[in-house]
């Protein structure tokens, strides 16, 4: 069965609306954008200027041998080249500066937003797909917002200047170009939907590649132990090949459309050469005029080619922007509370609480009722899937219960602000999360970062963590590695307990806090847990008798109900 999640819809609608929303990220940089446009105008005008200079070079220099033109032309060439160089540099640098600022802004907005998303969102999202938005999608969006805009503005201006020169030179020959317009527009509109559809699939395939790679890296021990190398290699090859196929479809569509447009342009060029060298027009057009016209038309092929390829960039950017905006538009945690309590005693009551992740999948918790007094401990036991962890997750409002009520010191938890409610709760789980930082910063994490060194050492000592910290060369300043990979399971668990001790919250949740420990580690930690549980309302979820035997109340759960 495939492990991949969140396949995007087959078709993205309202592309223009998405692109307009994307371009709003350029507005804060209006001054830089205006200067960049001025640079583009200068660069575009010099293209037409170079083509126009061919007429006096041939007619005045070679045919009429005018000494004034012969002396002036080198200086004009240098001036045009200087204007072109400065204009191109200004426009390219400023648009790149805008693009990197857009990437920074989008990443900041996404990161800030995911910190406030509810747990349900993470349940239905793969980390690989989310990471792909930060790494791959934002680059596509920045390219669509800056590179594509640069191409459109600069090349459209270039085409306008060159067309003006062509009409000034010979309006009769210029009429041929108007036959091309409708044909090219029809061709570009025909491939638009295909570009966008393939770009959407590319976003998905990049997320899949990231997800499978991440799983293989994080699960390398399991893969090696259970001989999963062949399966993972095959799985990665599938998603990798899928990504390659989608890119090749995009390339084939892009290249074929460009070649067709260039063939149409070549046919027009052939028609112009034929008309200019036959009939009465041959007697009215000078060599310089014809070469100036021909140069303008030839120079117009390059911007026309770029304008046909810019559609790929735009459609890819729209698909990526849709992915990013879907994340930014995802509903954040609902904070309905308005009450802030400075300190609570910790009395907790569940009354007829029901909960389901999805109505279609049935009830996970059914009419749960119990009360635990302040400072008491309550243990929940039962087979896996009985709802123990889900029940504990309702207290800090990682999920909102469907019906019933949960109160803390008589206040419904929905009346307290999320920040205030979670300030009263400490959590020690089976899967300890450590950040790639020092031991000290992992203990004094988040709102605890202002704690003194003495307080950190006191908490670490009570958690029996100083016993191994003192053996490390850098002590509390030792880096723990990605998710604490440089520490043992028991050491990570003791740091989590030290973090909870330092928080000194009146309510404590222990979710299988000792299940992954060996006997020796458990002996150390059991004493630390007893110290941690002292004078705290404690919810204990465990299978080991040593963890629950001292609980004031033991509740047995089965299939989401209390049976004993």
* Cα distance between residue 253 and residue 246, in whole Å: 11
Both tokens of 108, joined, read 């900041």
Q: Which residue has the tokens 């052939």?
A: 270
Q: How confident is the model at residue 318 (pLDDT cuts 50, 70, 90)?
A: confident
Q: What is the pLDDT of residues 325-361, one digit of tens each?
A: 999 999 988 888 888 988 888 899 999 999 998 877 7
Both tokens of 188, joined, read 């570009």
Q: What is the pLDDT of residues 56-78, one digit of tens each?
A: 777 766 666 667 767 777 888 88
Q: According to the model, what pLDDT value does residue 478 have? A: 87
Q: According to the model, what pLDDT value does residue 446 have? A: 84
Q: How confident is the model at residue 10 (pLDDT cuts 50, 70, 90)?
A: very low
Q: What is the pLDDT of residues 133-155, one digit of tens each?
A: 888 889 888 888 888 888 889 98
Q: pLDDT averaged over the chain?
A: 81
Torsion of CA 427, 433, 439, 443, to 10 degrees: -20
Instruction: Please name the residue ranges forming H helices in 25-66.
Output: 30-55
Report yes or no: 554 and 382 within 8 Å, Cβ to Cβ.
Answer: no
Quick check: 6 pLDDT over 60?
no
Average pLDDT over residues 280-298: 76
Report yes or no: 377 and 297 within 8 Å, Cβ to Cβ.
Answer: no
Average pLDDT over residues 464-483: 85
Domains annotated on the chain, with CATH: 18-328 (1.20.1560.10), 348-562 (3.40.50.300)
Ordered DSSP codes for 351-379: EEEEE-S-GGG--SEEEEEEEE-TT-EEE
Average pLDDT over residues 446-465: 86
Residue 225 makes CB contacts below 8 A (sequence gap 6+) with none
Both tokens of 226, joined, read 């259970």
The SS3 of residue 277 is coil
Average pLDDT over residues 373-387: 86
Q: Given 3-state DSSP classes, what are the helix, strand and coil percentages for the chain, each rounded to the nearest 5? A: 65, 10, 25
């Amino acid at each position: 069965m495939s492990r991949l999640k969140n396949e995007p819809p087959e078709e993205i609608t309202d592309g223009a609306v998405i692109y307009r929303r994307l371009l709003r990220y350029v507005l804060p940089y209006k001054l830089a954008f205006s200067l960049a446009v001025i640079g583009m105008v200068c660069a575009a005008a010099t293209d037409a200027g170079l083509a126009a200079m061919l007429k006096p070079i041939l007619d005045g220099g070679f045919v009429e041998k005018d000494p004034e033109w012969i002396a002036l032309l080198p200086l004009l060439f240098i001036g045009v080249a200087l204007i072109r160089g400065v204009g191109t540099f200004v426009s390219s640098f400023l648009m790149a500066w805008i693009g990197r600022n857009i990437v920074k802004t989008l990443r900041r907005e996404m990161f800030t937003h995911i910190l406030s998303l509810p747990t349900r969102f993470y349940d239905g999202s793969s980390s690989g797909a989310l990471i792909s938005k930060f790494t791959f999608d934002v680059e596509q969006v920045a390219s669509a917002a800056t590179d594509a805009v640069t191409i459109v503005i600069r090349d459209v201006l270039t085409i306008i200047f060159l067309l003006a020169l062509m009409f000034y030179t010979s309006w009769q020959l210029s009429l041929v170009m108007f036959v091309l317009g409708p044909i090219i527009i029809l061709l570009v509109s025909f491939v638009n939907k295909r570009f966008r559809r393939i770009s959407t699939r590319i976003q998905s395939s990049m997320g899949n590649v990231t997800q499978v790679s991440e799983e293989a890296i994080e699960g390398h021990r399991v893969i090696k132990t259970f001989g999963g190398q062949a399966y993972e290699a095959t799985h990665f090859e599938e998603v990798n090949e899928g990504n390659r196929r989608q890119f090749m479809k995009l390339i084939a569509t892009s290249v074929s459309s460009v070649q067709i447009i260039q063939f149409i342009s070549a046919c027009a060029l052939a028609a112009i050469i034929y008309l200019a060298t036959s009939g009465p027009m041959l007697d009215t057009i000078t060599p310089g005029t014809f070469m100036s016209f021909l140069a303008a038309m030839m120079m117009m092929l390059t911007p026309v080619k770029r304008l046909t390829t810019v559609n790929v960039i735009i459609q890819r950017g729209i698909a990526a922007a849709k992915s990013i905006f879907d994340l930014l538009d995802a509903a954040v945690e609902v904070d309905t509370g308005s009450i802030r309590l400075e300190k609570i005693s910790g009395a907790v009551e569940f009354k007829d609480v029901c909960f389901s992740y999805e109505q279609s999948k049935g009830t996970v918790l059914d009419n749960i009722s119990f009360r635990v007094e302040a400072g008491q401990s309550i243990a929940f036991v039962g087979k896996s899937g009985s709802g123990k962890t889900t029940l504990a997750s309702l207290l800090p409002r990682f999920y909102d219960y469907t019906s019933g009520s949960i109160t803390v010191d008589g206040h419904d938890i929905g009346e307290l602000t999320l920040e205030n409610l979670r300030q009263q709760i400490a959590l020690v789980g089976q899967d300890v999360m450590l950040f790639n930082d020092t031991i000290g910063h992992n203990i004094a994490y988040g709102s605890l970062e202002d704690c003194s060194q003495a307080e950190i050492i006191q908490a670490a000592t009570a958690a029996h963590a100083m016993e191994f910290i003192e053996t490390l060369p850098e002590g509390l300043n030792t880096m723990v590695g990605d998710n604490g990979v440089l520490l043992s399971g028991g050491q990570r668990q003791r740091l989590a307990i030290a973090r909870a001790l330092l928080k000194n919250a009146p309510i404590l949740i222990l979710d299988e806090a000792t299940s992954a420990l060996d006997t020796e580690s458990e002996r150390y930690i059991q004493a630390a847990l007893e110290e941690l549980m002292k004078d705290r309302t404690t919810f204990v979820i465990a299978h080991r008798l040593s963890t629950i035997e001292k609980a004031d109340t033991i509740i047995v759960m089965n299939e989401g109900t209390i049976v004993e």
